[in-house]
């Protein structure tokens, strides 16, 4: 009986409109917001990719150096 109640709950909830449905429900196949063919470039998010790549490379090099220094000489 509990399985039947759990299985029936999503079907009932899916049919009931809510305030969020009224606000966020769009027409299927329609895009909202920006985008399109006019710009062709991605928006600037504030991330400096050269700095991020430099930090990542530095951390990788530091990790390799620590591993080499920590291994016993054979």
Model confidence over 2-53: pLDDT tens digits? 655 555 555 545 566 677 776 676 665 665 565 555 667 777 778 888 999 9
Nearest to 32 by CA among 24, 22, 40: 24
pLDDT of residue 41: 79
Task: Determine the Cα–Cα distance for residues 16 and 11; give it in Å rounded to an integer.
Answer: 9
User: Rounded to two decimals, what is the model's pTM?
Assistant: 0.40
Task: Determine the Cα–Cα distance for residues 69 and 71; give it in Å rounded to an integer.
Answer: 6
Residues 6+ apart with CB under 8 A from 26: 32
pLDDT of residue 56: 97
User: 64 or 23: whose pLDDT is higher?
Assistant: 64
Task: Determine the Cα–Cα distance for residues 55 and 66; give it in Å rounded to an integer.
Answer: 16
pLDDT of residue 5: 54
Query: What is the pLDDT averaged over residues 54-72?
Result: 96
């Amino acid at each position: 009986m509990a399985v039947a109640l759990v299985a029936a709950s999503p079907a009932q909830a899916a049919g009931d409109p809510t305030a969020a449905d009224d606000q966020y429900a769009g027409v299927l196949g329609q895009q909202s917001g920006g985008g399109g063919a006019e710009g062709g470039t991605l928006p600037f998010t504030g991330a400096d990719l050269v700095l991020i790549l430099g930090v990542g490379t530095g951390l990788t090099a530091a990790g390799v150096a620590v591993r080499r220094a920590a291994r016993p000489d054979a």
